[in-house]
Structure 1
């Protein structure tokens, strides 16, 4: 089989056509650059700019909190302007803000530039999700699964490359990783600029191809049920804080497991996502199926919490086995939640205000990024039997979300609303 035929066969099952495939390349490039930088960010601020540990913590915490506003702002803009152009602006904003970090070691300026980058980062996540929703249409759940698989592969590529550079430990090595991330955003912006604008239920397309604002759309800030749904989502995103923050700290402070197991469990997480995300996406292809995923999701999360408790009940061998089981359980909770969250957040939003609604939904992951590490560290400080309490809290949130979703779904169309097109 020729190369062109092999490539055609590979792409045949990917929704979204040429632009959908192009956005997958954008995700790979973007996340590879992020993987380069994220593992080195704290070390860059410590060893290159000379900040203290306290200052690094403040910088990353405050800039992360500033990023919370990025999701609703980006969603609001995407309902009024072409989503591709708003996404290009956010990508370039990230590139410029990160490049500016190289120009100073002043704490206030570093905080300002980091906050600007964080604002664009949270906005980009919502815009990417919105673009995928519009370009893939009814196949949006499967497309999201493919995109998430590609993103994890990008993270792994960037992380491995970054680990090699970090071994040098020099100022130039840290700066090279930062510049690599800047280049990735610039390349992603160039590719995004070439993507066609997908149909939007919130704008009318005229014969001149210029979007014309439609009638005033519903506001998510007045939609009590959607706001409550978003609040429950913040708790279901906790698997991220557990895997990224809780498990490494638990290994270091509560077990005798070698610290080298931390990166191995992170690799296990990435491998499982790459292998399982797409196959499992078919179980969340409709809102009803997505709602049904909440039960196995919470079962996986509770199993992970139980395994964390068991990891302190015996010797090193039991701890390694239990932590491996916990990593697997939390990873499957992450996979199932990403599928359910994607489908339900779109299905519950009115077609003519998707951007605004998905922007509000983006607050859930942003809030978890700020509050999740604090909650998880509190659990670690409380001891092994605090993990089942965390699991019980997630059970309560899942029960509340299932009730909200089941009461809401019959009132919503189960697919993206059609676009009005006038031909002159």
Structure 2
């Protein structure tokens, strides 16, 4: 890992130059704070805010529903406003929401505060993805792989710190962990201020006629000649391009819907594996958290090597077929884990966790590339905002689908695995003909040597 994340390796391997590395630091700080809070949120509301189970469920349900609006809203704004200050604003909103939780223990104010925080969390996710897309360009698949590795490390560090703090478990400790979460967003905002504003084809289109050679609304650009590409023919100014909308792009909406199904690996790990292990198998209960550790370790080790499966739209489309096979294999292993003896159940659960982790890693590379390459450059923010709804929908419907499979038993897992494999085949057919090379690479690039403005 030192070779991957050391200073020299980051300088040589991370796409996006200095801005790419700064955004990795933002991701690390963000996820450490989120790890602190995610591991203790329910306990905080139970023991500090003194809420009942039903009240906590209502609060989390409402905040989750409000948060669904975050990705499309963030993407819509990102096509019209500079991205860097928008990111800083969202981080400030998240910080304010986190720290505001300290001011009350009443249910309805807490619902309002967590709803604002959820809106900011979901918007920040799509804005960070859009920033990475713009600064990394054609190397976005590799950047996303490194970014996911750093994110998992951050989650692990935050979770371990929270676990250590909870050995004390006092009200003061809970509040300190919440303060740490809020301060992580403040630090993330400050780090974002050190980044450049990335190029935006959407804002160039919105501005109407193309600016003078060598400039864009965001600053100097590399001209086609400087990049070794033929200069465009001279003549009349091009007519302003009408902005496209993802809400009328039926193939993209269908792609987003199928991707929501393929995001089910999240619910399999958070809900399915732990619940199935303790209720339907003879495996020791202590194996359940170890399966999550296995997931985290494999993501850190394999996400970057697996980036090659998403380097081009065509490669991402081809990888959908092995993705379906891996999903089906994981479901078969889960079905087999219901058998005795104990060693067989444990072995099957480990194989299932490994298979679904590989599916998660592979799907991350595929989804990252296709969601960007299928979007027109002038409306990338809006399209990525709509695509992020796939994760939001999965967070709501995924636990129901997984618990339904558990209720049916081994046959339920086989049905779920078959549905995932069929969805991969459907998506493979759906994106056929729309996976040309570099469909949405930005037409302009910001000079790496431009100084950031503060």
Query: Alignment partner of 2:289: what SS?
Result: helix
Question: Residue 316 of structure 1: CA displacement?
Answer: 1.9
Question: Residue 166 of structure 1: CA displacement?
Answer: 1.5
2-structure distance, mates of 1:414, 1:209: 21
1:142 matched to 2:142? The reply is yes
Residues 203-282 of structure 1: pairs in structure 2 closer than 5 A: 203-204=203-204, 210=217, 215-282=241-308
Q: Aligned residue for 1:362? A: 388
Q: Aligned residue for 1:342? A: 368
CA contact (8 A) 2:201 2:442 kept: yes
Question: Residue 69 of structure 1: CA displacement?
Answer: 0.6
Question: Residue 53 of structure 1: CA displacement?
Answer: 1.1
Change (3 A) 1:20 1:348: same
Deviations 1:354-387 (A, max 9, x none): 0000000000001001110111111112212100
Question: Residue 9 of structure 1: CA displacement?
Answer: 4.5
Q: Aligned residue for 2:228? A: none
Question: Residue 211 of structure 1: CA displacement?
Answer: 5.2
1:169 matched to 2:194? The reply is no
The structure 2 residue matched to 1:317, chosen from 343, 347, 371, is 343
Residues 10-409 of structure 1: pairs in structure 2 closer than 5 A: 10-204=10-204, 210=217, 215-409=241-435
Query: Alignment partner of 1:129: what SS?
Result: helix
2-structure distance, mates of 1:313, 1:263: 21
Name the stretch that deviates more: 131-140 or 378-387. 378-387
2-structure distance, mates of 1:381, 1:329: 22
Question: Residue 86 of structure 1: CA displacement?
Answer: 1.1
The structure 2 residue matched to 1:419, chosen from 436, 441, 444, is 444
Question: Residue 196 of structure 1: CA displacement?
Answer: 0.3
1-structure distance, mates of 2:365, 2:284: 33
CA contact (8 A) 1:46 1:52 kept: yes
2-structure distance, mates of 1:261, 1:65: 33
Name the stretch that deviates more: 224-233 or 262-271. 262-271
Change (3 A) 1:90 1:173: same
1-structure distance, mates of 2:48, 2:445: 54
Q: CA RMSD in A?
A: 1.8
CA contact (8 A) 2:199 2:442 kept: no
Question: Residue 210 of structure 1: CA displacement?
Answer: 4.3
Structure 2 gap segments, 5+ residues each:
1-5, 220-239, 447-454
What is the aligned residue count? 414
2-structure distance, mates of 1:277, 1:111: 36
2-structure distance, mates of 1:405, 1:215: 24
Question: Residue 408 of structure 1: CA displacement?
Answer: 2.3
Q: Aligned residue for 1:3? A: none
CA contact (8 A) 1:286 1:414 kept: no
2-structure distance, mates of 1:98, 1:313: 45
Query: Alignment partner of 2:288: what SS?
Result: helix
TM-score, normalised relative to structure 2: 0.88
Query: Alignment partner of 2:201: what SS?
Result: coil
CA contact (8 A) 1:153 1:274 kept: yes
1-structure distance, mates of 2:52, 2:394: 25
Question: Residue 335 of structure 1: CA displacement?
Answer: 0.2
Question: Residue 7 of structure 1: CA displacement?
Answer: 2.8
1-structure distance, mates of 2:445, 2:294: 46
1-structure distance, mates of 2:428, 2:269: 25
2-structure distance, mates of 1:91, 1:178: 15
Q: Rg: which structure is higher?
A: 2
2-structure distance, mates of 1:57, 1:252: 22
Q: Higher helix fraction: Structure 1 or Structure 2?
A: 1
CA contact (8 A) 1:138 1:415 kept: no
Query: Alignment partner of 2:434: what SS?
Result: helix
2-structure distance, mates of 1:316, 1:160: 29
CA contact (8 A) 2:310 2:368 kept: no
CA contact (8 A) 2:282 2:340 kept: no
